[in-house]
Amino acid sequence: METGSEQRRATRHPAKLPVDLESGKGVTRDFSNSGIFFETDKSFSHGQPIEFSIVLEHLYPGRPVRLKCQGEVIRVEDKGQKVGVAATIGSYTIEDIEPEGKQ
């Protein structure tokens, strides 16, 4: 095996999407079907469980959904005033978002 070779199992998709965290916010750099990398001003530790959600506005035209994920932090990078966080996506649910004013 070559030293420093790519170890990811899934294709990464670059995107800047807002991430809602339990105690803050972040912005994605990229994601795959098994993980995510985002930047935030909150601190995280390797191995820490994590819950986050992302609103996907264009998955179904005219019907945004919330992707709620649970996973584990696998890497933390100091980026000056921000922290880069790589996390697995162990499980997720998709919830419809009701348009404002409708119930």
3-state SS, one letter per residue, for 11-74: CCEECCCEEEECCEEEEEEEECCCEEEEEECCCCCCCCEEEEEEEECCCCCCCCEEEEEEEEEE
Mean pLDDT of the chain: 87
Query: What span, in angstroms and rounded, lies between the C-alpha atoms of 19 and 52?
Result: 7
Per CATH, the number for 13-95 is 2.40.10.220
Please report the pLDDT score of residue 97 as a whole number: 87
pLDDT, tens only, 7-56: 556 788 899 999 999 889 999 999 998 999 999 999 999 999 999 999 98
- Sequence ranges of the domains in the chain: 13-95
pTM of the model: 0.81
Burial class (CB in 10 A: 0-12, 13-18, 19+), 48: middle
